[in-house]
Structure 1
Amino acid sequence: MCRRHDLDASGSTINQGREVLPDNVKPTNYALELEPDLEKFTFEGTVAIALDVVKDSTTVAVNDVDIEIQSAKLEYNGQEYTPVNVEHTDDIQTTTWTFKDVIPAGTTATLTIKYTGILNNNMAGFYRSSYKDQDGSTKYMATTQMEPTDARRALPCFDQPDLKATWEVTLVADEKLTCLSNMDVKDTKSLGNGKKSVSFNKSPKMSTYLLAFIVGDFKYVENNDFRVPIRVYATPGNEHQGQFSADLAAKTLKFYEETFGSEYPLPKMDMVAIPDFSAGAMENWGLVTYRVVDLLYDEKTASLDRKQRIAEVVQHELAHQWFGNLVTMDFWEGLWLNEGFATWMSWYSSNVFYPQWKVWESYVTDSYAGALSLDGLRSSHPIEVPVKKVSEINQIFDSISYLKGSSILRMISVYLGEDVFLEGIRRYLKKHAYGNTHTGDLWAALSDASGKDVEKDMATWTKKTGYPVITVKENGNELHLTQNRYLRTADVKPEEDETLWPIFIGLRTKDGVDSKLTFNTRETTIKVPDTDFFKLNADQTGVYRTLYSPERLATLGKESKLLTVQDRAGLLGDAGALATSGYQKTSGLLDLLAGFKDETEYIVWSEIAARIGNIKAAWLFEPKDQNEGLKNFQRDLFSPLAHKVGWEFKSTDDDILQQLKALAFSQAGYSGDEKVVAAAKEMFKKFVEGELDAINPNIRGPVYNIVLQYGENNGEKEWDQVFDAYKNGRTSDERNVALRCLGRSENPANIKKSLEIAINGEVKEQDIYQPIGGLRSHVAGTEALWEWTQQNWDLLVKKLPPGLSMLGSIVVTCTGGFTSDKAIEDINEFFKNKSLTGFDMSLAQSLDGIRAKASWVKRDAEDVKAWLKKNKYYSAEKL
């Protein structure tokens, strides 16, 4: 294929260097009939694609992969034409048919293709998913996951987001099974052989990645409070757990219609729990699919965190029905237009529906922190990342597209004002409904609504990698501010420090917040009315770190009552990041953390826990006495809090108090608080003896982790008991909690078992990461995990094909626990002669993370040691 605007012999072109289809024809409608076989795991399909011929052509090309085309014909002007040549190109996943006669521009044609395929077990395209029925037998369903480029695994198609078309889907299946697609049912016909044909009404114009169809044995619950019916489907016996999501969806769709000034355009909303699912959920228009634990909720057995997660995911996917489905990015470099906005909107709506959760406080320690963590690496990427190849697309479904994208939207919404921001969103959706957009179209709509040049302010944030650290130097009542690129690895090169970001200062003083102060130069000077108290980046809405003098940082720590919860959490987050990268000493961070002993707010305590966790992770391979000293400090902070708030959960506890109790219990327990450990063992004993509700759902995971960590012989016996809780849990959530904890045990036999069950078929491919994740909490597990990865690499690649989404996450899990340059050398040596297709970005980010930890420890090991000794956490009597 040739470069931009250059045609090869077949008429193909690459738009901006991308691997895309030729632009000589465009699809307008698909008439698709599919018949899956749930015993042979195959399917037969016929698709008739209506085409507009844009240029005189002798060829038609479509995307397809892992399907067998049986026949193809082209019809136009009342004539039928068969191709004289067919060519399949594996690397770009296309089939091209050549015809003898020129197809004239302006012609309307129909390409009809008969084909067969495999219901794969890779959770991509048209695939099979298995589950245990109520009688214990294994059953299967056929379902789909098309995003980003796997519709081509289900049918030959024009698999690009900009090539929208309408869809008419027909499914042929056993009469007893449920058939679902994006639209409502048009008619159902009995075929007289135990099968039926279910045809669905024509869809609006939409991209291929939003196509969905499902065949299986389902039951559902329904909510009719919204204009159109909302149903949540699950395997029989589990459907009642869908009521929370159904009720929330009804409220959310109504709220979004009002907020966006745009009606939800489909005649129904179905949401389906899929037993095998690689992501959390997928926003298929009118037929949203979910991982089971992210849709089904059992109030008796699930934690508050699980309820919050489900609420966030449901609201995220429903936001996509407008932002992504109705208006779609032109190409995958605009993915953030979908994911960044849906992430921001899920927090916005959660704040409306659940004000008691104080979600904008937790945003700072969640999405905002996640964005800055990844974007502080050299191997990060811009929000608008140029993607050319199919293999690159899956890798950008990461914290940058989702979390940094949502963080800059939060930043601009504060700067413009929420009402103005949402007015801009309404104008954007109205203008581009059923079409495709670029980022500039969003900025134009926000500019139109605000009267400000939003693109000038925001383009740098989407097109450049990274963010700055703002150094604050005080001179009387003047603050001299300097911006420089921030890197966790503390090795910014001059050529990496050329970007000047537009900075929204957000100055907080005793008089309030000045949200209009900005600068986009290397340096600037601002005045403060009172030098006794000020803080930049009020509520942490600006995407940057702030470096104060040690004296100012200490003052802010003492004046924490003048700071909001977001400010206090952000202050700790900045201090932690700046210690990591050498701007400040780690002893200064430890002093700051120690100064928050009297803190009362859950969010701030969660940030304290995160900061201590980061230090412990970096110091993992350091001498035992240093690690014990850090654990002593952790216990000294959290034990008084745990004993004060307790770990008995009462019906009168508000949601934030429940979270605080769970956090304090876990942190005190992990650091060896004797009373907490004893309480965890007692709860676990009752649970094992058959009292299934002996452990409150909010601390089920911590209890498992504590008994695995502090049980006799490093939890030798407890591992089997937690594993039994995984196998026999009452809900998917209960089983998942147990599975995630197994790696916590340091017992060598248990480490081996945790690794074995990840790949021996005991757990689904979607869950391979779960039993091994906890191994990174200790040295023995981290080392065993890497050894296991090397020994089983070929099997992992087979189970998690590189062209799909999960292998990169496993690579990060299995390598990211190390803390030394030697480990980097070993990892590079292993991957030296291996293909990195599909996970090269993930590997680079993991290595950068290790490099940052190694530099941090080399720089501050003696500093931390001295601090621990000075504060008597290092003494023999405490070990």
Structure 2
Amino acid sequence: MANSEKAFTLPDNFRPRSYEISLSNLDHKRRIFTGHVKIHFSCNKPSKKIHLNVRDLVIDSAEIRLVSDGRTLQLLSCETNSRLEAITLNVAEPISSNFSVHIDYRGVIQNNMSGFYRSKYKEHKSRKEKVMLSTQFEATDARGAFPCVDEPAQKATFKVSIIAEECYTVLSNMPEEKRSSRGSQVEHIFHTTPLMPTYLVAWAIGEFEFIEGKTEKEIYPTLDQYSIVDGTSKTTGVLPIRIYTSLGKRNQGLFALSVATKAVDLFSELFKIPYPLPKLDLLCVESYSHNAMENFSLITFRPSALLTNYKNGGDSNLAALEKVAYVVCHEIAHQWFGNLVTMQWWDELWLNEGFATWVGWYAVSLLFPHWDVRSIVMLRSHETALTLDALRESHPVKVTLRDPKDIDQVFDTISYLKGCSVLEMVSRYLGEKDFLAGVALYLERNRWGNATMEDLFDCIYQVSHVNMLENIRPWLLESGYPLLTVTESNDKLDIRQRQCGVCEEIKQTKYWWVPLLLTRDDEFLRKLDFTGKSIECGAGSKFNLLNTDGAAFYRVIYETPKLMEALCDNLINLSSRSKMSLIADVFALRPLANFLHLVSRIMMVHNSEDVYVWKMINTSLMKIRSVMFSPSDPKLLANFDLYILRLIDPWIEQALEYFRNCATISKNQEGASCPDSSIQFYDSILTTAGKLSHPGVVEAARALFLKGNINASNRAIVLTTVLSQPDTTRLIFDRVVEWLDKAVLEEVEIILRSLGGVTNPHLFESCFVLLFKIEQMNVQFLAEGWKDNPLIHSTILQSVRQYGRQLLNRLSVNQVIIARFVSFTFGYCRGKDSVQQIKLIFEGFDISAFDRVLNQTLELIEGNTGYYANNASLWKEFFK
């Protein structure tokens, strides 16, 4: 057991084998409930002390009974350990055999989107205020709903019963076994689960409706003599899959249902293990800080991660469909990787989240081959991880936990996205076939148990005969990654590595194993690699591209101009991902002049199908725009905007023609809106052009806005354009704000991002005040709008300082919410003064739940400051 695990785990004298949890007296108005739990323990080592995790629970009674003779042991005392969030039951004599603990207790129904909590919402059609109750126990919140040993390695079975009003539907991990009336209430008793950790236990109570589908394969366990030992049954059949929503929304789950039915079959085949529970429910939770949670067989989602108007007589944009498809696949993948086989301790969270991220996108690429999924991953996952992991304030993928509160902070970019990127690198080096065969072996060997990264890579070794663990250890156990510098002389490439850093040269303490993934002309040398300081190899004839497709986790700089020009001359021969990787590396590591030169070369040969190449360029340009902006010289910003408009000018007329005729969007075979890559490209350049006040786009967007002709196809373009104009009136602003009350699904997120883009200074204060009016779980989307809006940065910073304590108290209701607010709101600031002001905002405030994100954000500001200093003279000269 690692030291970090020992510091936070309970003594293991006794091991829980099963729980029987009963909930009653659910009072959502007073936010209280009554519970009873019966826990069966086996004995590892005799002791007089029984340790249980407890938080926010009042223990009314506790009784300990021996299994052998039914005798009740004398309870001497109940001690509390606030650091471990635990109680210790002291008994009169040592226990050396199996026993059970019976506890009556009272608990709190939370309102912070954690633990057992309440969501308030307005019913879809009637707009009446309603309430639903649901759970979010990962990582350590099960202890707030029932006394337990709240650790991932302490797997047990769970039998849940809940007494609720008869008007409510009640759900849990297993199908309902029976129900009985209790006056105006009903007791719902659920079948016993197979082995699972406490953080995957789930239940929900509310006025729900559902739609149901089923898998094509008939290989899944049923309730016919279902075994909680191995997840098998006497007979097999199709798996019933349901989408549960609040009343009036169930048909908005049709797209998610179509994805889920296919994903279960796909993963069952890929992992060579059929889905192991007899049902699968996907529940839309109205208030949710995360995108989703993989509770075994009762997966919970925020509305925009599960619901869409697709196939519901309405329309949805491709971004909304991509989000739903990915999140559904990610969470279903967890049913094997995380639920069936669970990490030993939270320091290896990446085993759950990194793999689910990688294989979630892998599944989407198979289910939707017409989407350029590999490029999506490059833009949203790979590049995000590279940016963060170049910071001093990054952390290893396998992270040392400093404090129990720190567990929630490891649910971050490194665990998810660097974890995914490292697995992608391994998969590309070994080949997907061997990699996935190793994963399947890992799941088979460890099913229903717990495992470590050593177990995973041992299975990969058994299949591939490559000892990847030794190669990959530095990538997982240390933060950072290498920067490869490439020079050419005498037809030889000289490749050297050093550690990459954002703010300063980092002292070299190690050298990585590096897969070069070299493309020389048309030849791809997949298994060419090196360790050490440098390597020399042949240069080839036309061009040499390292890290083909950006599949490995490092950056490359071509120091010899000839090498870079050869790549620019052969851009047409590079894949979308290879061009994206090249763009990202030059933007991150070279002066602004080099980046602008590469952009001009790429746009000369760009075609509208390379939408994610443009999005990578656009993301970089928008960051330059934010970081380089100076209020004292707004003309420079206007000229930079003109430069961007000139880049996209060759496609503007075609894009405007599409924009004016959005009703004729191409349809897929099933008749639903499904933009192709060209339309995605048009959407992106129109949104950018509108933000930068292109006259034709502004005129078209305003016409649609005034007519009320706004739909999913044009909503982002119209609202971004209309709201970002300097002459936007308060009347328009207030009108859009009013739409939030009736907006559904992805509409809220788009509206808030657009509101964050206002450039009329008279609206800045009203924009900031929205932080106190919108639901906390949606704050991040307003902050995302501020990110690319340099005109509002100083006002927002001043306003946050003025209302800091009031605002922080509102947002700190949930660690995820405040962390995202901090990173999105301040990440594009620059200057020592900004750093000092932000530090003053948090002075005297408990930042322990989000200090990693805050420190990373401050370091990003330091990097922005350095970027400005290094490029200010060129910026002023080039765009004067």
Q: Secondary structure at the match of 1:59?
A: strand
Shift of 1:768: 2.4
Q: Answer yes or no: is the 8 Å Cα contact 1:222–1:243 preserved in 2.
A: no
**Structure 2 residue 108 is the aligned partner of structure 1 residue 108:** no
Q: Which residue of 700, 704, 711 maps to 2:719?
A: 704
Aligned to 1:655: 676
**Structure 2 residue 356 is the aligned partner of structure 1 residue 342:** yes
- Structure-2 change in CA distance of 1:555 and 1:74 (3 Å): same
Q: Which residue of 147, 168, 178 maps to 2:169?
A: 178
Shift of 1:715: 4.0
Q: Which residue of 639, 645, 649 maps to 1:639?
A: 649
Q: Secondary structure at the match of 2:340?
A: coil
Q: Out of 558-567 and 796-805, give the one that drifted further.
A: 796-805
Q: Secondary structure at the match of 1:18?
A: helix
Q: Secondary structure at the match of 1:677?
A: helix
Q: Deviations over 1:488-510 (max 9, x none)?
A: 21x1232xx21211111011122
Q: Deviations over 1:517-570 (max 9, x none)?
A: 00111111111332x211111111111111113342233123201211111111
Distance, in Å, in 1 between the alignment partners of 2:253 and 2:521 is 48
Q: Out of 594-603 and 618-627, give the one that drifted further.
A: 618-627
**Structure 2 residue 811 is the aligned partner of structure 1 residue 821:** no
**Structure 2 residue 127 is the aligned partner of structure 1 residue 136:** yes
Q: Out of 610-619 and 546-555, give the one that drifted further.
A: 546-555
Code of the residue aligned with 2:98 in structure 1: it is T
Distance, in Å, in 2 between the alignment partners of 1:100 and 1:289 is 43
1:157-172 matches, within 5 Å, as 157-172=148-163
Code of the residue aligned with 1:334 in structure 2: it is E
Distance, in Å, in 2 between the alignment partners of 1:789 and 1:155 is 38
1:354-373 matches, within 5 Å, as 354-373=368-387
Code of the residue aligned with 1:522 in structure 2: it is K
Aligned to 1:91: 83
**Structure 2 residue 187 is the aligned partner of structure 1 residue 197:** yes
1:419-568 matches, within 5 Å, as 419-489=433-503, 491-494=504-507, 497-530=508-541, 532-549=542-559, 550-568=561-579
- Structure-2 change in CA distance of 1:585 and 1:780 (3 Å): closer
Code of the residue aligned with 1:169 in structure 2: it is V
**Structure 2 residue 618 is the aligned partner of structure 1 residue 609:** yes
Q: Out of 826-835 and 479-488, give the one that drifted further.
A: 826-835
Shift of 1:702: 2.6
TM-score, normalization by structure 2: 0.92
Distance, in Å, in 2 between the alignment partners of 1:867 and 1:749 is 31
Shift of 1:407: 0.8
Code of the residue aligned with 1:238 in structure 2: it is K
Q: Out of 39-48 and 780-789, give the one that drifted further.
A: 780-789
Aligned to 2:40: 50
Q: Which residue of 203, 210, 213 maps to 1:213?
A: 203
Q: Which residue of 19, 26, 34 maps to 2:8?
A: 19
Q: Secondary structure at the match of 1:116?
A: strand
Distance, in Å, in 1 between the alignment partners of 2:619 and 2:201 is 40
Q: Answer yes or no: is the 8 Å Cα contact 1:707–1:715 preserved in 2.
A: no
Shift of 1:774: 2.1
Q: Answer yes or no: is the 8 Å Cα contact 1:803–1:837 preserved in 2.
A: no
Q: Deviations over 1:575-628 (max 9, x none)?
A: 1111xxxxx221111111122223011111111101111211211336312222
**Structure 2 residue 760 is the aligned partner of structure 1 residue 751:** no
Aligned to 2:213: 223
- Structure-2 change in CA distance of 1:859 and 1:304 (3 Å): same
Q: Secondary structure at the match of 1:84?
A: strand
Q: Deviations over 1:93-151 (max 9, x none)?
A: 111111121112xx111111111111111011100011112322211111000011111
Distance, in Å, in 1 between the alignment partners of 2:813 and 2:461 is 41
- Structure-2 change in CA distance of 1:610 and 1:777 (3 Å): closer
Q: Deviations over 1:765-794 (max 9, x none)?
A: 211233344234344522232233333333
Aligned to 1:72: 62
Q: Secondary structure at the match of 1:698?
A: coil
Aligned to 1:298: 309
Q: Which residue of 626, 629, 632 maps to 2:639?
A: 629
**Structure 2 residue 875 is the aligned partner of structure 1 residue 864:** yes
1:578-617 matches, within 5 Å, as 578=589, 584-598=590-604, 599-600=606-607, 601-617=610-626
Shift of 1:316: 0.2
Q: Answer yes or no: is the 8 Å Cα contact 1:666–1:699 preserved in 2.
A: no
Distance, in Å, in 2 between the alignment partners of 1:26 and 1:803 is 31
Q: Which residue of 128, 132, 143 maps to 1:152?
A: 143
Q: Answer yes or no: is the 8 Å Cα contact 1:124–1:153 preserved in 2.
A: no
Shift of 1:866: 2.2
Shift of 1:801: 3.7
Distance, in Å, in 2 between the alignment partners of 1:468 and 1:590 is 24
Shift of 1:401: 0.8
Distance, in Å, in 2 between the alignment partners of 1:795 and 1:301 is 39
Aligned to 2:225: none
**Structure 2 residue 294 is the aligned partner of structure 1 residue 283:** yes
Give the aligned CA root-mean-square deviation in angstroms: 1.7
Distance, in Å, in 2 between the alignment partners of 1:142 and 1:459 is 43
1:250-289 matches, within 5 Å, as 250-289=261-300
Aligned to 2:418: 404
Shift of 1:248: 1.2
Distance, in Å, in 2 between the alignment partners of 1:547 and 1:313 is 34
TM-score, normalization by structure 1: 0.93
Q: Secondary structure at the match of 1:546?
A: strand
Code of the residue aligned with 1:493 in structure 2: it is I
Unaligned runs of 5+ in 1: 6-13, 579-583, 688-693, 869-873, 875-879
Aligned to 1:808: 819
Q: Answer yes or no: is the 8 Å Cα contact 1:500–1:521 preserved in 2.
A: yes
- Structure-2 change in CA distance of 1:419 and 1:267 (3 Å): same
Q: Deviations over 1:724-774 (max 9, x none)?
A: 222223x22223321232121133442222222322xx3222112333442
- Structure-2 change in CA distance of 1:669 and 1:797 (3 Å): closer
Q: Answer yes or no: is the 8 Å Cα contact 1:711–1:718 preserved in 2.
A: no
Code of the residue aligned with 1:357 in structure 2: it is W
What percentage of residue pairs aligned between the two structures are identical? 30
Distance, in Å, in 1 between the alignment partners of 2:562 and 2:858 is 34
Distance, in Å, in 2 between the alignment partners of 1:372 and 1:470 is 14
Distance, in Å, in 2 between the alignment partners of 1:73 and 1:43 is 20
Distance, in Å, in 2 between the alignment partners of 1:22 and 1:567 is 51
Unaligned runs of 5+ in 2: 217-237, 668-674
Q: Answer yes or no: is the 8 Å Cα contact 2:655–2:686 preserved in 1.
A: no
Q: Deviations over 1:693-737 (max 9, x none)?
A: x2342331232121111162x4432211211222223x2222332
Q: Answer yes or no: is the 8 Å Cα contact 2:517–2:526 preserved in 1.
A: yes
Shift of 1:860: 1.2
**Structure 2 residue 409 is the aligned partner of structure 1 residue 395:** yes
Distance, in Å, in 2 between the alignment partners of 1:702 and 1:379 is 36
Distance, in Å, in 2 between the alignment partners of 1:80 and 1:755 is 60
Code of the residue aligned with 1:755 in structure 2: it is F
Q: Secondary structure at the match of 1:526?
A: strand
Shift of 1:795: 3.2
Q: Which residue of 670, 676, 692 maps to 2:691?
A: 670
Q: Answer yes or no: is the 8 Å Cα contact 1:83–1:98 preserved in 2.
A: yes
Q: Answer yes or no: is the 8 Å Cα contact 2:151–2:198 preserved in 1.
A: yes
Shift of 1:637: 0.8
- Structure-2 change in CA distance of 1:753 and 1:847 (3 Å): same
Shift of 1:478: 1.0
Code of the residue aligned with 2:84 in structure 1: it is I
Distance, in Å, in 1 between the alignment partners of 2:775 and 2:813 is 17
Distance, in Å, in 2 between the alignment partners of 1:351 and 1:643 is 32
